[in-house]
Structure 1
Amino acid sequence: MEFLDIPFFDDDFFKMIFRFFINFTFLTLIIRFVYYPYTKRKDYVFTYYLISVIVFFLCFTLKKYELDIGMALGLFAIFGIIRYRTDAIPIKEMTYLFVVIGVSVINALANRKMSYAEIIGANVLIIGVLLIIERYWALKQEDSKAVIYENIENIKPENYAVLKADLENRTGLAINKVTIGNVDFLKDTAEVTIFYFRVN
Structure 2
Amino acid sequence: MTTLLAAAVDLAAIALLTFGVYFPRHRRRDLVTAFLGINIGVLAVAIVLGSTTVGAGLGLGLFGVLSIIRLRSDEISQHEIAYYFAALGLGLIAGLGGTPDSTTAGLMLLIIVGLWIGDHPALFRRYRNQQLRLDVAYTDEDALRTHLETLLGGRVTSMVVRQVDMVNDSTLVDVRYVAPAAGRAPQEPGLRQRVNAA
Q: Which residue of 2 aligns with 1:97?
A: 84
* TM-score, L = length of structure 1: 0.65
Q: Which amino acid aligns with 2:130?
A: S
Counterparts of 2:144 and 2:97, CA distance in 1: 59
Please point out which of 20, 23, 44 is paired with 1:57: 44
Structure with more helix by fraction = 1
Counterparts of 2:97 and 2:145, CA distance in 1: 59
Q: Is the 8 A contact 2:90 2:108 kept in 1?
A: yes
Q: Is the 8 A contact 1:23 1:103 kept in 2?
A: yes
Q: Is the 8 A contact 1:175 1:195 kept in 2?
A: no
* Higher deviation after alignment, 51-60 or 96-105: 96-105
Q: Gapped runs of 5+ residues in structure 1?
A: 1-13
Q: Once the 2 structures are TM-superposed, how far is the Cα of residue 40 of structure 1 from its aligned partner?
A: 4.5
Cα distance change on mapping 1:78 and 1:159 into 2, 3 Å: closer
Pair 1:192-2:178 in alignment: no
Q: Gapped runs of 5+ residues in structure 2?
A: 178-196
Counterparts of 1:182 and 1:87, CA distance in 2: 28
Q: Which amino acid aligns with 1:74?
A: G
* Structure with max Cα Rg: 1
Pair 1:80-2:65 in alignment: yes
Counterparts of 1:191 and 1:160, CA distance in 2: 9
* TM-score, L = length of structure 2: 0.65
Q: Is the 8 A contact 1:155 1:163 kept in 2?
A: no
Q: Which residue of 1 aligns with 2:96?
A: 109
User: Residue 73 of structure 2 aligns to a residue in which SS?
Assistant: coil
Q: Which amino acid aligns with 1:75?
A: L
Q: Which amino acid aligns with 1:124?
A: L
Give the aligned length: 173
Identity score, percent: 17
Cα distance change on mapping 1:146 and 1:107 into 2, 3 Å: same
Q: Which residue of 1 aligns with 2:115?
A: 130
Q: Once the 2 structures are TM-superposed, how far is the Cα of residue 39 of structure 1 from its aligned partner?
A: 4.3
Alpha-carbon RMSD across the aligned residues, in angstroms, is: 3.5
Q: Is the 8 A contact 1:144 1:196 kept in 2?
A: yes
